[in-house]
Amino acid sequence: MRRIFGIILIIFSLFIALGGIVTVEEDFGASMFGIFLISMPIYAVGHIVRTNVSKAKKNGFRWMWAYIYGVVIVPALLLSFEGYENLKEQTFSNNQFLLFETIATDYIGGLAILFILLLLGLFCFPFYETTRKRKGIIAIAAVVVTGVYAGYQYMMWADYRGIHEVDGLVTHHWNGEEHIVPYEEIVEIAVQPFVKYASLSDPTDNTYFAWRLIFFTDKEEPITYRLWLDDDSLAKGNRMKELAQSYNIPFGVIPMTEKQRKEFDFQLELKKLEKQPFYLFFEVD
């Protein structure tokens, strides 16, 4: 009976922690209070109740680290990525960017995910079956990699690209290099619909309809931006069409294939989008 009651306390504490994680962006203070001052003590008491004080002294660090790892470290790392991306987009998109992408340098832009995966592995050090000395080395490595990750995020703040309302196509790299294609150098803009079909070998993969904005110039390779089948992307597409007209840039839509049209209509129905504005933009009946 005592063991069951202890498990119930642990489960209850984790529900409280989950509530704190879900609301952390809305009320950070209240979330931290719930996680550390309410949930964590109940979690610790639950382990003592389900075992005994002697076992709690022996395994207490690992139990508490399991809590910190699952409730604090994992969500913090995931939020550090998502929150950073959102903050960066909000900061620059409010600066006359019609369309904004948080990464311009492809070959290092995805390193954030690798950093997160590495840190998730390193912060598991209390659970590794190895010597205390090696655990200490892993712990130090986790701290060092955390610092490098923070420096990487700071460096990548200046790495972005987008469509600026005034300047044109702006690409700014992390090393300070900037490349701008003004609207006067754009000779044509094309809308290219496409369908990404789900992989048969991956049950989690989905089929979706999307489209590309392709900018053609006389001096370089076409520059492409990807958009989606939603109201926000449609608004951006219409605004881009207005800018093209104001700069006398030809703006055209590549006709859909029969399969693309079927998926287009199906996705409009599925997402419950108003059809007429999309038909008008994609020039279909």
Residue 3 has pLDDT above 80, yes or no: yes
> For the residues 136-160, what does the mean pLDDT come to?
90
pLDDT in tens, 113-124: 889 999 999 998
Hey, which of 95-104, 110-119, 195-204, 232-241 has the most confident mean pLDDT?
A: 232-241
If you average pLDDT over every residue of the chain, what do you get? 89
Task: Specify the pLDDT at position 271.
Answer: 94
In angstroms, the CA 36 to CA 257 distance is 56
Angle made by CA atoms 224, 226, 230, in degrees to the nearest 5: 150
